[in-house]
Amino acid sequence: MKPVIFGLSGPVLTPQARAFFAECEPAGYILFKRNIVDRAQVRALTDSLRALAGRDDLAILIDQEGGRVARMGPPEWPAFPAGPVFDAAYERAPMTAIQAARANGQALGVMLSEVGITVDCAPLLDVAQPDTTEAVACRTFGSDPMRVAALGRATLEGLAEGGVVGIVKHMPGHGRAKLDTHHHLPTVTATDAELDIDIEPFRTLNQAPMGMTSHIVFDAWDPDRPATLSRIVIDRIIRQRIGFDGLLMTDDIDMKALSGTAGDKAAGAIEAGCDIVLDCWARMDEMIEIAGRLGEISDSSRGRLDRAMASVGQTKGDFADLIATRDALLERA
């Protein structure tokens, strides 16, 4: 097994992709809107991926946060609220907001489980700042670390009850970045003491099964490398100071924050201490390069992957009831 999660080019597996994936055996796959048509098609696609891998516990990811980050949406599936909705509800009624976030997460889990998706790239634990890039600010649970952790925990628990694994992101924190890492490499100049605020939600939820890095340079920790490629940040901050021992994957290595070839970035992330590389765009030449640069997944990383995928049980809950419960709680808050 290669320590990489690959994207797919369309709504079905092409013969070329099928042959390549069978040979290199990636750790999992990630779906985007280009892979989504309707329930029957998505279920058929995920079933084909499991059959190809020969594993029922295959990691099949999607970014389904709510708000602007939603790969499955109307009219086939309902729209979900984003983090700021729960942040605002918490301001009025904290416990009610936490219950709503848990019901929302469980509804997401049930919806994804129905079509064979096993991992949701949520929740964000980024602590918002006044100048947080809009690409992140519109998705966060707010600016209070305790609130972010509480709503993040409820979302993680709900996702697990719905039958999918959640991913906490973007470690060790994206809130101070003023630039969108899809397009630029941000540098954060905050002090180590100031950054303690950013890592607090991740430290509180350090038992999460999966985490995702951020492509951000933190001057206080490693002024030369973004977190994804920094052994200092991954070892000293994420693994030791935060205490996270779950599966650590990169954010999409195709983002413009990172430079170099696809193979360079993938190899650099694994060398820095990431367990898994995330490569989203299904460009065959780049996937071949990545597979050629990466060895087999390490025993420790495979153990973390297996533990993460075993962390959830059977899907629980009725989708319509969960949506109704969430909406009633948000209205009451």
Which parts of the chain have pLDDT scores under 50? none
H/E stretch holding 32 reads: none
List b or e across 76-89, with b for residues whose CB sees 16 or more CB atoms inside 10 angstroms: ebeebbbbbbbbeb
**Residue closest to 276 by CA, chosen among 263, 266, 286, 284:** 266
Angle between helices 262-272 and 284-293 (to 10 degrees): 40
Q: Report residue 230: phi and psi, to 5°.
A: -110, 115
Question: How do beta strands 64-66 and 69-70 pair?
Answer: antiparallel
Q: Report residue 7: phi and psi, to 5°.
A: -85, 170
Gap between the Cα atoms of 222 and 298, Å rounded: 25
**Residue closest to 3 by CA, chosen among 306, 300, 311, 295:** 295
List b or e across 285-298, with b for residues whose CB sees 16 or more CB atoms inside 10 angstroms: ebbebbbebbeebe
Does 251 qualify as catalytic in the annotation? yes
Residue with tokens 């899907």: 315
Does 183 qualify as catalytic in the annotation? no
CA atoms 57, 58, 64, 65: torsion sign: positive
Helix (H, G, I), strand (E, B) or coil at 303: helix
Amino acid of residue 176: R
Question: How do beta strands 26-31 and 165-171 pair?
Answer: unpaired
CA dihedral 271, 272, 277, 278 (to 10 degrees): -150
pLDDT, residue 313, reads: 81
Amino acid of residue 320: A
Residue with tokens 């929740």: 123
Chain segment 84-132, per-residue pLDDT in tens: 999 999 999 999 999 999 999 999 999 999 999 999 999 999 999 999 9
Which of the following is catalytic: 180, 182, 219, 254?
A: 182
Contact call for residues 304 and 85 (beta carbons, < 8 A): no
Question: How do beta strands 222-226 and 217-218 pair?
Answer: antiparallel
**Residue closest to 135 by CA, chosen among 166, 101, 178:** 178
pLDDT, residue 62, reads: 98
Gap between the Cα atoms of 195 and 193, Å rounded: 5
Chain segment 314-332, per-residue pLDDT in tens: 888 999 999 999 999 999 9
Which of the following is catalytic: 87, 198, 222, 251?
A: 251
